[in-house]
Each structure stands twice: as C-alpha cells, then as structure tokens.
C-alpha cells in the first residue's frame, strides 16, 4: 500500500482516494477535469487553489449549478423557460386571412388572445368618440358570455341634431347583429345617463348602435359594468381567432378563445396566418 504524500484537504481530495487517480487525467488552470471518468466535485492540487468541476448544463433548462437545478426542479413542469431570445409583439388580426408570422427557422411561440373582461364584476368601455353619421360598435364588441346582466352609462358631452342609441346582440349561428334595446330616443341634449339592461341582450357578445334622426354630431362615452360573472374570461364568440395556413377560415382554423393562449412550434420557412370575426389584437411571444 502506498502512503499518502499529502494531508487531507477540505472538500474532495483525489490524493486520499487512489494512487492512480490522476493517471491520464488533468485539471487545467481555470478549466475542468479531463479524462474518461465524468466527475463533479472539488479537486485540490499541491500549491494550487481548489478547482470546482461542474456537470454539463442541462440542455432543457440551461441551468448548470446542481443546487439551482434541484431548487427549480419543482417549477420546471409548468414553467416557460425564457431565454435571451424572448420577444413579444402585438399583431392585428383582421376579418380576412392575416399573416401573423414568417419564420426562417423552427421556433417555439406562445400565442395569446387577451381578454377584455375578467372577473365577477368588470368595467369595459363600449365606445368613446365623436360620430356624425349612423353607425355601431360591432367592430369592437364586448364578450359577455360569462355574465348574467349589465349596466350601462352613456355620457354625452357634445351633441347637435337628435340621435337614437341602443344595444345589439350577436346571433352566434348567423353571425349577424340584432338590435335588442333602444336606450335613448331622439336625444338632443348633453348629460350622463344610466340604464340597467338586466338580462335582455346579454347573450355572447354586446355592441351598441346609434342612429342620426336629424343631422348633427355626437360625442359620447359608453361605459359598461358587467355583473354576476362566473369569473375568468368572458369568452365572447366574436373574440375568437383562428390560426392556420394562407387559406385559413373561421371553420378550418385552430380556434383560440378570448383570454386563452397556446404554445406552438412554427416550422422552418413557414407562414402562419390567422383570421377573426372582428379585428382583434393578439400577442406573440418568441420563447
């Protein structure tokens, strides 16, 4: 038996384990051990500071330190690993197929269709602006599928002529908007007006119409307070986007409801398209 030539040191000391432990192995200064046997630990050499040898980084997480990997282990199953390439962008999806991403290489993306209304009670702006002709807010509807009733405030700050103002509901089968209630008729004065819609017209999607009875202009803000919600997203039918190829439609596309997200891996040299029932802004995050 050979006699150890050096006293024990703190940490793992190869001189105390085997006389042949350094055969065909070396530890370069500032580097890691080389040789046929993988090793993790601390090596002490005579007259040199201890060298810590780390295992290869985990390719799925990029985490190299074993203690960090153990500490994060409980979170990795549901976590989204963010790297320096994490980028976000907002894309407007129209009622015709819209190119939302052109890829040059395969890349994972998170696609989010954000919700306008969340919670049991919520406040949403239904319209805010000035009009000088009859029209509606069908292009910017409110999803109300998760709510039982709504209360409406119409704040008219400037008006000439007379106007009718009311509510609309979307027929989910035909995709057509139907007038449900007239809230103000022949209105020609400013003021702030309150209406309790109850359940009438609270279907899946809510919008507003205005009709010019006599020529003029109208400046108003319509605020909607949604009540008795079930929590989560309103999940309005009109707020759904559909993802697919250049010929995507609301029938053939992958549906992404309001307030939901989905991870995709977009392939190499690929065009990704989307379409919506009304123009919607979605978020894309490169992972």
Same domain, 262 and 216: no
Residue 18: per-residue pLDDT: 46
Same domain, 250 and 278: yes
pLDDT tens sequence across 215-269: 999 999 999 998 876 554 445 566 789 999 999 998 889 998 877 888 888 888 9
How are beta strands 191-198 and 149-159 bridged, if at all? antiparallel
pLDDT tens sequence across 106-128: 888 889 888 765 557 788 899 99
Same domain, 258 and 278: yes
- Banded model confidence at residue 144, pLDDT cuts 50, 70, 90: confident
Which CATH number do you get for residue 203?
2.60.120.380
Strand partners, 154: 193, 222
The answer to the question of residue 232 being in a domain is: no
Number of domains the chain contains: 3
DSSP code of residue 16: G
Q: Which residues contact 47 (CB under 8 A, 6 or more apart)?
A: none
- Banded model confidence at residue 200, pLDDT cuts 50, 70, 90: confident
Residue 155 burial (C-beta neighbours within 10 Å; 0-12, 13-18, 19+): middle
Q: Give the domain range for residue 101.
A: 87-115+237-286
pLDDT cut 70: percent of the chain above it: 65
CB 248 within 8 A of CB 77: no
Residue 7: per-residue pLDDT: 47
SS3 for 63-104, per residue?
Answer: CCCHHHHHHHCCCCCCCCCCCCCCEEEEEEECCCCEEEEECC
pLDDT tens sequence across 73-87: 555 555 666 665 667
Which of 129-133, 191-195, 263-267 shows the lowest per-residue confidence on average (mean pLDDT)?
263-267
The answer to the question of residue 262 being in a domain is: yes
């Amino acid at each position: 038996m050979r006699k150890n030539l050096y006293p024990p040191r703190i940490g793992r000391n190869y001189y105390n384990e085997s006389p042949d432990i350094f055969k065909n192995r070396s530890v370069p200064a500032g580097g890691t051990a080389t040789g046929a046997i993988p090793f993790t630990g601390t090596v002490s050499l005579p007259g040199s500071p201890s060298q810590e040898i780390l295992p290869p980084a985990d390719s799925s997480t990029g985490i190299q330190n074993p203690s960090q990997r153990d500490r994060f282990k409980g979170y990795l199953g549901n976590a989204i690993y963010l790297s320096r390439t994490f980028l976000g962008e907002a894309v407007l999806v129209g009622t015709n197929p819209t190119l939302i991403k052109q890829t040059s290489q395969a890349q994972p993306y998170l696609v989010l269709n954000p919700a306008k209304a969340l919670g049991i009670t919520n406040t949403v702006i239904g319209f805010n602006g000035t009009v000088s002709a009859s029209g509606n807010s069908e292009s910017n509807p409110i999803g109300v599928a998760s709510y039982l009733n709504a209360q409406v405030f119409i704040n008219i700050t400037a008006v000439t002529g007379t106007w009718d103002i009311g509510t609309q509901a979307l027929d989910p089968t035909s995709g057509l908007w139907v007038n449900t209630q007239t809230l103000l008729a022949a209105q020609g004065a400013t003021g702030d007006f309150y209406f309790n819609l109850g359940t009438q017209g609270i279907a899946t999607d809510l919008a507003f119409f205005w009709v010019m009875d006599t020529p003029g202009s109208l400046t108003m803000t319509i605020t909607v307070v949604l009540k008795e919600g079930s929590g989560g997203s309103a999940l309005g039918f009109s707020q759904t986007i559909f993802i697919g190829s250049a010929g995507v439609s609301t029938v053939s596309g992958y549906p992404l409801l309001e307030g939901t997200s989905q991870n995709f891996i977009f392939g190499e040299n690929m065009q990704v398209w989307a379409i919506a029932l009304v123009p919607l802004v979605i978020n894309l995050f490169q992972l």
